[in-house]
């Protein structure tokens, strides 16, 4: 990584043009370590950033639990008229959710729909996780239903998040019914699932 960074710096000092592909690859190295500052610095220095460039930077912010910077990046995308894709939406929702910016998570989900982006299981997982944070059992269950209607495969993360929402709302029978539905979907419960159900059944 150090060698690549040194080469990039040497190229800049020589006033050589570094293409977006090269910048993206170096950004990826920093993003994998959650080094959002260096990732975003490289993004700022990229002459023609694209959606992938911003997705890399958003990923770095998500790993660093930096929802504020993720919002800044998304604002920059809009200013540059760079269209987001579903990965942009998913990563931004995750970054915001980790920082407990729940209203912002919900707003980004709606914005993705308005842009015509089809939510996938990761999108819905982030949405249901946000609803579980606010103890909104009804909204979590509606999201599970929306997944069915859109033909999006449910996964353990989505069900576990919905179960947590049910637990917080003391909707114990609903949680038990949801666990049955989970098995009907051929999703094997994990330790977290059983821990939630054990707390409910006490």
Residues 15 and 83 in one domain: yes
Instruction: Check if the beta carbon of residue 126 is closer than 8 Å to that of residue 152.
Output: no
Token pair belonging to 198? 């054990």
Query: Are residues 74 and 136 part of one domain?
Result: no
Percent of the chain with pLDDT over 70: 91
The tens digit of pLDDT for each residue in 61-88 reads 999 999 999 999 999 999 999 999 999 9
Judge if 8 and 84 occupy the same domain: yes
* Boundary of a domain, candidates 79, 95, 117: 117
Q: Do residues 183 and 197 both lie within one domain?
A: yes
Mean pLDDT of 34-59: 93
Helix axes 121-133, 156-168, angle to 10 degrees: 20
Task: Indicate the DSSP class of residue 47.
Answer: S
Which tokens is 149 given?
């209607």
Whether residue 64 is found in the same domain as residue 152: no
pLDDT of residue 47: 84
Both 69 and 148 in a single domain? Answer: no
122-153 pLDDT, tens digit per residue, is: 999 999 999 999 999 999 999 999 999 999 99
Are 80 and 127 found together in one domain? no
Q: What is the pTM of this model?
A: 0.88
For residues 98 and 134, membership in a common domain is answered with no
For 132, the domain range is 120-202
51 and 144 inside one domain: no
How many separate domains does the chain show?
2
């Amino acid at each position: 990584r150090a060698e690549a960074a040194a080469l990039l710096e040497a190229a800049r000092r020589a006033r050589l043009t570094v293409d977006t592909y090269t910048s993206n690859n170096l950004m990826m190295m920093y993003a994998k370590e959650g080094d959002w500052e260096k990732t975003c610095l490289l993004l700022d220095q990229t002459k023609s950033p694209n959606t992938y460039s911003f997705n890399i930077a958003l990923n770095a912010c998500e790993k660093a639990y930096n929802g504020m910077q993720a919002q800044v990046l998304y604002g920059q995308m809009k200013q540059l008229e760079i269209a987001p894709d579903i990965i942009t939406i998913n990563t931004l929702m995750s970054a915001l959710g980790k920082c407990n910016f729940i209203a912002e998570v919900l707003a980004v989900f709606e914005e993705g729909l308005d842009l015509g982006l089809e939510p996938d299981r990761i999108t819905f997982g982030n949405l249901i996780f946000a609803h579980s944070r606010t103890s909104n059992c009804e909204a979590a269950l509606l999201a599970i239903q929306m997944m069915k209607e859109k033909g999006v495969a449910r996964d353990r993360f989505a069900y576990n998040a919905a179960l947590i929402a049910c637990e917080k709302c003391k909707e114990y029978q609903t949680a038990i019914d949801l666990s049955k539905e989970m098995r009907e979907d051929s999703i094997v419960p994990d330790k977290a699932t059983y821990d939630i159900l054990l707390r409910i059944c006490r």
